[in-house]
């Protein structure tokens, strides 16, 4: 059996399947990578917003006299530390 029967690069066959398989892996790898980046970006943004909302509530409770200064500082430090994760 001849490898090149005039139908293209080595007659298609194995080399074309190999390049097609490699291209497919690269393509799907890029798609998965982009999805992971998008999920990380959106989850990081929402965590920051949740922390900002929690700090606002904490400040309101402190200014309203519901909590003492020590408790305010302790909870604020916990919120700031959890935002760094």
In this predicted structure, what is the pLDDT of residue 85?
Answer: 44
CA–CA distance, 45 with 50 (Å, rounded to integer):
9
The whole-model pTM stands at 0.41
* pLDDT tier for residue 9 given thresholds of 50, 70 and 90: low
CB atoms inside a 10 Å sphere around CB 50: 13
Select the more confidently predicted residue: 16 or 46: 16
Mean pLDDT rounded to a whole number for the chain: 79
* Annotated domain spans of the chain: 12-83
* For residue 49, pLDDT beyond 50: yes
- Tens-digit pLDDT profile for residues 56-67: 899 999 999 899
Quick one: tokens of 5? 């029967």
CA–CA distance, 85 with 76 (Å, rounded to integer):
15
Contact yes or no for 11/1 (Cβ under 8 A): no
């Amino acid at each position: 059996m001849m490898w090149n029967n005039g139908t293209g690069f080595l007659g298609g066959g194995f080399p074309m399947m190999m390049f097609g398989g490699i291209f497919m892996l690269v393509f799907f790898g890029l798609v998965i990578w982009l999805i992971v980046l998008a999920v990380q970006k959106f989850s990081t943004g929402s965590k920051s917003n949740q922390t900002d909302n929690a700090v606002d509530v904490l400040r309101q409770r402190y200014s309203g006299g519901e909590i003492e200064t020590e408790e305010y500082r302790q909870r604020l430090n916990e919120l700031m530390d959890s935002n760094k994760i």
